[in-house]
Amino acid sequence: MKYIDFEYNINNDFDIDIWSKKATRAYTDLHAINREKMNGWLDIEKIIKNEDIEIIKNLANEVKENAEVLIVVGIGGSFLGAKAGIDFLSDYYNFDKKIEIIFVGNSLSEKYLMDTIKYVEDKNVYINVISKSGGTMEPAIAFRVFKNLLEKKYGDKAKERIIVTTTKGKGLLYEIAKKNNYRKLFIPENIGGRYSVLTTVGIFPIACAGFNVKKILEAAKEMQEDLLDLNFKKNIALQYAALRNYLYSTGKDIEVFSSFTPNMRYFLEWLKQLYGESECKQNMGIFPASLIFSTDLHSMGQLMQEGKRNIFETFVSINKENVENNLYLEEDKDDIDKLNYLINNNINEINKIAKNGTKKAHLEGQVPIIEIKIEKQDEKTLGAMFYFFQYSCAISGYILGVDPFNQPGVEKYKSEIKRLLEKK
């Protein structure tokens, strides 16, 4: 499949006939449910129209011209997708002196808020506050803090620097935006938080970070079309969803997402939210975890190799990281560190060998391995990956027999924390 390759080695009897039938039934469930259910993200062209992309691009250009920092306020699906996408596409350091994107409202750490205030106080700032419901506690608190900061800094002009992403006509945030005349971007009602990265929720911050969002959406659309193919052997989203459920049925109830590329950390965090919140309900579901290698091989590698055998591992591997030139080890005349034998391999090749060695070791340790392989870290690959994982997650939920679009557990904690705060 374009953009993504897929392979697996699960050391086990996976009956393709049985599981392809289950996946096909899930496919029918996903496409059959009506619009009020939350499958609005399925059709990329309906999520964001070309004219919306122009509005987003113009607004992003204004932000880039007038701000050194964009503060993105949001939590869960209103945070992780944008962070995952920006990290995936960015260099590790801000070489190009691009606008800095800072995320707040995803914790209630006083120190984090205070330090962020201190950091942005003397900088030119815009805010993008994102909440579909418009009433989530953590972002609401952070928004009030940073809105006040902007009002102190810019007076009446503060309102020109605040962009609200929320549901049209609903919720407290919409009311605030209307009253203060803030500019607004809307989230379609039939798309839930963790499936919203390809809407204004993820696309606007990613555009502000300087990336080509049109390409992201184009590739997501291409992936959408590819995944309409009901041929199980060709449809890797159906295969991946079926494999996960098969492994779960054999007692593997933890999926570890692994990557050998550090700036994939938040992509894996996004995956954890997507799968955990979509599937883990009614006392069922695979616990999603994530590891970044080599770092975590030296902390969790032991558990992966020899801990309780209830794990399977999904590698998300990049063939070639975003480097202009390859880095080779130079020959050392003394070779005391005994590394001269590596001088003909660049670091990326050595990293790939490390990955293959890790895969082999984990497989020998009875960890079934799935691998999602991408060629590079660019906008098109990112769009395709976002769509691929959302799609396979929804299919996977239907195979398991849960509604992948609700989150009663999250709502429970939200109302409990609100009740306690109100009591106080």
Q: Does 76 bind ligand PA5 (CB under 6 A)?
A: yes
Q: Which is nearer to ligand PA5, 139 or 202 (CB)?
A: 139
- Confirm if 383 and 327 have CB atoms less than 8 A apart: no
- Confirm if 50 and 203 have CB atoms less than 8 A apart: no
Q: Does 263 bind ligand PA5 (CB under 6 A)?
A: no
* Number of Cβ within a 10 Å radius of residue 284: 13
The answer to whether 414 is a known catalytic residue is yes
Q: Which of 3, 29, 47, 77 binds ligand PA5 (CB under 6 A)?
A: 77
Q: Which of 136, 200, 235, 245 binds ligand PA5 (CB under 6 A)?
A: 136
Apex CA 119: angle with CA 165 and CA 211, to 5°?
A: 45
Q: Does 407 bind ligand PA5 (CB under 6 A)?
A: yes
Q: Which of 116, 133, 263, 396 binds ligand PA5 (CB under 6 A)?
A: 133
Stretch that binds ligand PA5, among 16-24, 109-117, 129-137, 416-424 (CB under 6 A): 129-137
Stretch that binds ligand PA5, among 22-30, 130-138, 263-271, 285-293 (CB under 6 A): 130-138
Q: Which is nearer to ligand PA5, 188 or 368 (CB)?
A: 188
- Confirm if 355 and 315 have CB atoms less than 8 A apart: yes
Q: Shortest distance, CB of residue 407 to ligand PA5, whole angstroms?
A: 5
Site size for ligand PA5 (CB under 6 A):
15
Exactly one of 255, 277, 313, 379 is catalytic; which is it? 277
Q: Does 75 bind ligand PA5 (CB under 6 A)?
A: yes
Q: Shortest distance, CB of residue 362 to ligand PA5, whole angstroms?
A: 30
Residue 348's contacts (CB-CB under 8 Å, 6 or more residues apart) are 320, 321, 323, 326
- Own/partner pairs for 329-332, CB < 8 Å, 24+ apart? none
Task: Say whether 422 sits in a helix, a strand or coil.
Answer: helix
- Confirm if 209 and 99 have CB atoms less than 8 A apart: yes
Stretch that binds ligand PA5, among 22-30, 128-136, 251-259, 288-296 (CB under 6 A): 128-136
Cα–Cα distance for residue pair 424/417, rounded to 1 Å: 11
Q: Which is nearer to ligand PA5, 134 or 368 (CB)?
A: 134
Q: Does 390 bind ligand PA5 (CB under 6 A)?
A: no
Stretch that binds ligand PA5, among 90-98, 186-194, 341-349, 352-360 (CB under 6 A): 186-194
The answer to whether 184 is a known catalytic residue is no
Give one DSSP letter per residue of 314-364, joined into a string. EEEEEEE-S-SS--BPPP-SS-TT--GGGTTSBHHHHHHHHHHHHHHHHHH
Q: Shortest distance, CB of residue 38 to ligand PA5, whole angstroms?
A: 9
Q: Shortest distance, CB of residue 136 to ligand PA5, whole angstroms?
A: 3
Q: Does 252 bind ligand PA5 (CB under 6 A)?
A: no
| Phi, psi for residue 67 in degrees, rounded to 5 | -130, 145
Q: Which residues pair with 165 in a beta bridge?
A: 130, 185
Q: Does 277 bind ligand PA5 (CB under 6 A)?
A: yes
Task: Categorise residue 211: left if φ over 0, alpha if ψ from -120 to 50, beta otherwise.
Answer: beta
Q: What is the layout of strands, in order, in the sheet containing 369-376?
A: 4-9, 369-376, 311-320, 254-259, 287-292
- Confirm if 276 and 287 have CB atoms less than 8 A apart: yes
- Confirm if 132 and 243 have CB atoms less than 8 A apart: no
The answer to whether 298 is a known catalytic residue is yes
Q: Does 193 bind ligand PA5 (CB under 6 A)?
A: yes
> What's the distance, CA 135 to chain centroid?
22
Q: Shortest distance, CB of residue 156 to ligand PA5, whole angstroms?
A: 28
Exactly one of 298, 308, 333, 338 is catalytic; which is it? 298
Q: Shortest distance, CB of residue 337 to ligand PA5, whole angstroms?
A: 47
Q: Shortest distance, CB of residue 318 to ligand PA5, whole angstroms?
A: 26
Residue 265, CA distances (Å) to 37, 84, 92, 168, 173 in order: 31, 8, 12, 32, 30
What percent of the residues of the chain are helix, what percent strand, and what percent coil, each to the nearest 5? Answer: 55, 15, 30
Which residue's Cβ lies closest to ligand PA5? 193
Q: Shortest distance, CB of residue 325 to ligand PA5, whole angstroms?
A: 40
Stretch that binds ligand PA5, among 2-10, 126-134, 250-258, 380-388 (CB under 6 A): 126-134
- Confirm if 149 and 120 have CB atoms less than 8 A apart: yes
Q: Does 192 bind ligand PA5 (CB under 6 A)?
A: yes
Interface ranges with ligand PA5 (CB under 6 A):
75-78, 131-133, 136, 139, 192-194, 277, 407, 410
Active site residues: 277, 298, 414
